[in-house]
Amino acid sequence: MAQTIRRSGQRNVRRQARGASAARTTKAARARTGGLLDRIAQALPFTEEQLHRFFLGLILVAVLALAWLVASLAGLPALAGQQAANAVGDAGFEVRRVEVRGVQRMNEITVYERVLGVRDRAMPLVSLGELRASLLELPWVKDARVSRQLPDTIVVDIVERSPRAVLNVNGALALIDGTGHVLERVGERQARGRLQISGEQSQDQVEALDTLLGAAPALQPRVTQAEWVGNRRWNLTFSTGQVLALPQGEERARTALLSFARLDGVNRLLGGTVARFDMRNPQRIYMRVPGRAHEAALAKAEES
């Protein structure tokens, strides 16, 4: 009868030997790693206690950052800021006075109306940028600077636009600056003595008109009206009531105006009998005298 020999004991011995070998390897690795960390720690200029405090502080910062994020999502910082601003106001730092500077032509009340809305408000809650933007909406305001003067004053410095002419649109008069920006509606009495501009899209030609008139400084103060004709050229009316028709094109108009200025200097055209000067043809000047056509017709009739 055959017998079976069991070798389970030998397998157990081999398994134990392998386990012991793995344990020795792990222990050796830990020893090497521990030694490396110890050497790194010894190389740093910190004690073990200082390193412990550093990592503890790092953990606390992370916790505080997380708490701040949660509070921000809940709106708590804004509430805290509001309470802090109110506390500053309770301490006397709130708007009690408004000081406006630089206003000469415009109605000063319109400035106060824009600013007095922040009165009795805590200084930290006053948005200077919003106040400035509101002031820039006023027609007369070219620029504005708004500042706090602690403890209780808001200072507003206004830079006004300068009126240049009166825009005439179908009899409705408005004061405009050198860019054509409308400042305010005016009546005939307020418009008296100012250059009047008319014609479709003439409002966009104010700067070009100033350049043109500046080429003939002797004539410029005598021009009382300027009509932008057909969106291409100017008719100028002088204080004498006489009209000068200029050609199309900036350079041609400038040349014609200079020629007219020279002719007027020699022949005294302004104040004479000619009612209209037409210089649209660069080769010659046409002059119309009131009643002259009627006289010519009568003479022709007599000759016949």
The pLDDT value given to residue 209: 97
Amino acid at position 88, single letter:
V
Tokens describing residue 73: 């999502």
Do the domain assignments include residue 137? yes
The pLDDT value given to residue 2: 45
Tally of domains in the chain: 2
**Same domain, residue pair 156 and 264:** no
- What is the distance between the alpha carbons of residues 65 and 211, in angstroms, rounded to a whole number? 63
Judged against a pLDDT cut of 50, whether residue 18 lies above it is answered with: yes
Do the domain assignments include residue 203? yes
Do the domain assignments include residue 280? yes
Question: Integer distance in angstroms from the first to the last C-alpha of the chain?
Answer: 172
Q: What proportion of the chain, given as a percentage, has pLDDT over 70?
A: 65
Out of 41-55, 125-139, 290-304, least confident range: 290-304
**Same domain, residue pair 281 and 173:** yes
Q: DSSP 3-state assignment of 261?
A: helix
Residues 209 and 235 sit within 8 Å (Cβ to Cβ): no
**Same domain, residue pair 156 and 275:** no
Tens of pLDDT, residue by residue over 237-246, are: 999 999 999 9
Query: What CATH number is attached to the domain comprising 232?
Result: 3.40.50.11690
Do the domain assignments include residue 304? no
Do the domain assignments include residue 183? yes
The pLDDT value given to residue 293: 53
Residues 202 and 167 sit within 8 Å (Cβ to Cβ): yes
**Same domain, residue pair 262 and 288:** yes
Amino acid at position 152, single letter:
D
**Same domain, residue pair 146 and 179:** no
The residue segments making up the domain with residue 275 are 163-295
Give the residue-averaged pLDDT of 170-185.
Answer: 95
Judged against a pLDDT cut of 90, whether residue 4 lies above it is answered with: no
- Say if pTM beats, i.e. exceeds, 0.85: no
